[in-house]
Amino acid sequence: MPLLLGAIADDFTGASDLANTLVKSGMRTVQTIGIPPDDLELDDIDAVVVALKSRSIPASDAIAQSLEAYRWLEGRSVRQTFFKYCSTFDSTDDGNIGPVADALLEAAGGDTTIFCPAFPENGRQIFNGYLFVGDVLLSESSMRNHPLTPMTDPNLVRVLSRQTPHKVGLIAETAVSQGAAKIRESLNALTAGGVRHAIVDAATDRDLIEIGHACRDLKLVTGGSGIAMGLPDNFRAAGLLPNGIQADALPPVAGHAAILSGSCSEATRGQVTHMQGRVPVWQIVPDDAVEKGVGLADDILDWARDKLGETPVLVSATAAPEQVRALQDRIGRDEAGSLMEGILAATASGLYARGARRIVSAGGETSGAVVKALDVRALRIGPQIDPGVPWTASVERDPIALAMKSGNFGTADFFEKAFGVL
């Protein structure tokens, strides 16, 4: 079965965001971690989101990786390609949005594409080509001080023009508000005038959906996750995507439950506290971690042996800011981070070997380490636990159910709730 939509995202959390949007719009979606292996088997999947880490690397590397991802998608006969970047258009004058879009457009054989990072729900709106964050211009928002991609020009036509040799145009709100047919007409007129890239205004979700509909025949679409809302309708209208499929269904997963928490964010601290007395908890003591290093995982696994089952065990490095600082002062910030990540990752693979198959991890970096330790390369996106945090299932072998929560996400009973949703 050919893939309907193939997306290339320039970072991991952005990829998850997009994958979540596509599932909610009725597409069965897999997110891969990096460029997928050639032998990855995908049955009954409508969309694949390839998560790269290409936002802030040199443009030539971002192009190379994005093209490699495109070749993989092309090998699956993808009908439309989507390049996903941040809703604040994070990039420098050297790239990578312009150079990657140019390379993908050429590879896909299209003459024109649109750029629309708008995400009204999160306060990102575009008007006359100017990007607003909340009620201020992008250049007045905290993005002006971003350590890697400071955004000091709010006009996306100018920003993109500095990143591409091609002509950049604008489809303004006056046209967008008239709906898909008018947007398509404006795009055709721009294309006829030699414009290859069109910044498109959007202030509301309705705008985004109309823009999505207008992109029906484009080989390449680029934007934030919001613009993806209207794309599934095009496939449905063409009879390629059935109506009413349960896009968030996951294969059944049986196995022990576990929670690994390495986030020290306030929300996570509350969530760990909530589980005290409800499930067996191993709290990693910094002294033990320093003394035993990754070897501490063996002690944790011995402890967990007779506790594994339906009820999760919770292994936590989560600590209050003064404790975190104390460890950082003692061994260094990066060392403290990798020490805890290493222990939690080794615990994850040990738990897997002992039959754990339903795993929740808390923390962005922590989740990255856990996914790596479990050797997971692709995830089917399932039902949402809390906004922005879906259950997923690994695509290969006997599936592992994984829910990865970044720091400040989720309600206080998140961990408890998670296993109820599965």
Chain residues in the site for ligand ADP (CB under 6 A):
262-265, 268, 286, 317, 319, 323-324, 327-328, 336-337, 340-341, 363-366, 406-407
In the complex with ligand ADP, the residue whose CB is nearer, 47 or 343, is 343
In the complex with ligand ADP, the residue whose CB is nearer, 299 or 365, is 365
Helix 296-304 / helix 333-353 crossing angle, nearest 10 deg: 40
In the complex with ligand ADP, the residue whose CB is nearer, 160 or 272, is 272
In the complex with ligand ADP, the residue whose CB is nearer, 227 or 348, is 348
The single-letter code of the amino acid at 37 is: P
The answer to whether 70 touches 8, Cβ cutoff 8 Å, is yes
Nearest approach in angstroms of CB 206 to ligand ADP is 33
- Residue with tokens 């508000």, as numbered in its chain: 177
Nearest approach in angstroms of CB 266 to ligand ADP is 9
Nearest approach in angstroms of CB 121 to ligand ADP is 21
The answer to whether 62 touches 8, Cβ cutoff 8 Å, is no
In the complex with ligand ADP, the residue whose CB is nearer, 78 or 373, is 373
The answer to whether 27 touches 5, Cβ cutoff 8 Å, is yes
Closest CA to 211 of 198, 202, 219: 202
Nearest approach in angstroms of CB 324 to ligand ADP is 4
In the complex with ligand ADP, the residue whose CB is nearer, 77 or 323, is 323
Instruction: Please give the C-alpha separations between residue 129 and each of 33, 93, 172, 189, in angstroms, as whole numbers.
Output: 33, 17, 7, 17
In the complex with ligand ADP, the residue whose CB is nearer, 183 or 317, is 317
Nearest approach in angstroms of CB 349 to ligand ADP is 16
In the complex with ligand ADP, the residue whose CB is nearer, 324 or 360, is 324
Nearest approach in angstroms of CB 370 to ligand ADP is 9
Nearest approach in angstroms of CB 320 to ligand ADP is 9
In the complex with ligand ADP, the residue whose CB is nearer, 122 or 338, is 338
Nearest approach in angstroms of CB 420 to ligand ADP is 23
Nearest approach in angstroms of CB 310 to ligand ADP is 26
Strand partners, 48: 6, 30
